[in-house]
Structure 1
């Protein structure tokens, strides 16, 4: 399983998910995307092509293990996983997406490329969690330049959603203050996957992999992987 963290975050948001998969006998690779995990200044210098390139290289490492590979992630991690399925769908056995992002819900988001020169950062978007005692590891500020790069990723990924044909397991929070459920609706309508299953998370906000419904995601992922592997082996 190739797990991808979200925008401004790091693999710590994937760790409980990855540990559950490991305990279920599934190999896990969770790369740190370029620019992430450090200061907002480092993130501001990175480009979406670098983020995707890291995930693309991680897929090669996963394939080298000689087993079917599934990919997925949270938020932007879902965006990048979808892009991977568009470009290398033949190398993937399926996707698991948690509150994936594919479009800009912010009314002034299109101004980001220009605003970055006069307003380099905005407040951190991390830790949208229902659990009061949990914090997500993120940059202390959100660089506008990096957000402009995220919009570019969506711009190239959304039109090519019909290229995605792999099975998809989708988890969407009923209340998400970062990514609206419209994103998942657009993804479902855009892909050509015949096997799509969705679960609504009623007790979690955006960072659902660290929230109350995390066990549903973790157990659902294992069930999804086992079901897809059984199908590929012809086992009912």
Structure 2
């Protein structure tokens, strides 16, 4: 049954209950620094907690101003996420870009998973406002048909199991939803596929980091990004020890160092 295939694909690895979204680490944050700004987006169903440690390290190494907003519908409940769609997440990203641009004359955008997709989307559409882009396990629309088809079945479930905490390192956990509105996944697919079509418009320097073993996003997305963007400055680095939430995994230190070097 195709619903069963979908459930298996999105089976949570090490989920935690829907609860700790009021914790300080799950809140948006701004680290004041230099005139170079790094706008850092978290992933789908997640919170700023998933990128906070890397963001703090980037700030420490580079001295850059680092801002991590929280996307619409995130950090609340799955029901709140159900009321949002790709236009709302894009609007969150654009608002954050305006906020950081008022503080910094040079802005680089980056993110994890859906956050990377949003970064690519902004860089393609707003080249005059963004000087570089970082993609960490970003999705650009490469999905298996048996995963997508069940989303359009009339009798499908309203919610499916969450996709968070795909982390190799024991003891590390992502604050994220334990279930996802099925209709919201359609919105995610719309955004990732549209962003894939926009890749040739990206001409800024780009840094791509991709986990070799990623149980959420097909690693081939990294190669698609590298071969489709219009940039002449492309860095592609494979993360050998981490799963999808690499910013909470074994390679998080390497990720921070690479981003800091890219900002320089």
Q: TM-score, normalised by structure 2?
A: 0.82
Select 1:165's aligned residue among 203, 206, 215: 203
Select 1:23's aligned residue among 57, 60, 77: 60
Alpha-carbon offset, residue 81 of structure 1: 0.5
What's the counterpart of residue 108 of structure 2?
Answer: 70
How far apart are the structure 2 equivalents of 1:97 and 1:177? 17
The 8 Å contact of residues 41 and 111 in structure 2, kept in 1 or not, is answered as: yes
Q: 1:29 to 1:116 in 2, by over 3 A?
A: farther
Alpha-carbon offset, residue 225 of structure 1: 0.8
What's the counterpart of residue 100 of structure 1?
Answer: 138
1:142 counterpart = 2:192: no
What's the counterpart of residue 11 of structure 1?
Answer: 48
Q: 1:118 to 1:14 in 2, by over 3 A?
A: same
How far apart are the structure 1 equivalents of 2:76 and 2:150? 21
1:85 counterpart = 2:131: no
RMSD of the TM alignment (CA)? 1.4
The 8 Å contact of residues 112 and 144 in structure 1, kept in 2 or not, is answered as: no
What's the counterpart of residue 87 of structure 2?
Answer: 49
Q: 1:69 to 1:40 in 2, by over 3 A?
A: same
How far apart are the structure 1 equivalents of 2:231 and 2:79? 38
The 8 Å contact of residues 226 and 236 in structure 2, kept in 1 or not, is answered as: no
How far apart are the structure 2 equivalents of 1:10 and 1:146? 17
The 8 Å contact of residues 116 and 144 in structure 1, kept in 2 or not, is answered as: no
How far apart are the structure 1 equivalents of 2:39 and 2:197? 24
Deviation track 1:162-197 (CA, whole Å, cap 9, x = no partner) reads: 111110111111111111111111111211011011
How far apart are the structure 1 equivalents of 2:117 and 2:263? 20
Q: TM-score, normalised by structure 1?
A: 0.91
Give the gaps of 5 or more residues in structure 2.
1-37
What's the counterpart of residue 234 of structure 1?
Answer: none
What's the counterpart of residue 114 of structure 1?
Answer: 152
Alpha-carbon offset, residue 113 of structure 1: 5.2
Deviation track 1:46-94 (CA, whole Å, cap 9, x = no partner) reads: 0101101111111111111133100000011111101101110111111
1:38 counterpart = 2:87: no
How far apart are the structure 1 equivalents of 2:59 and 2:156? 45
How far apart are the structure 1 equivalents of 2:178 and 2:109? 28
1:218 counterpart = 2:248: no
How far apart are the structure 1 equivalents of 2:94 and 2:154? 28
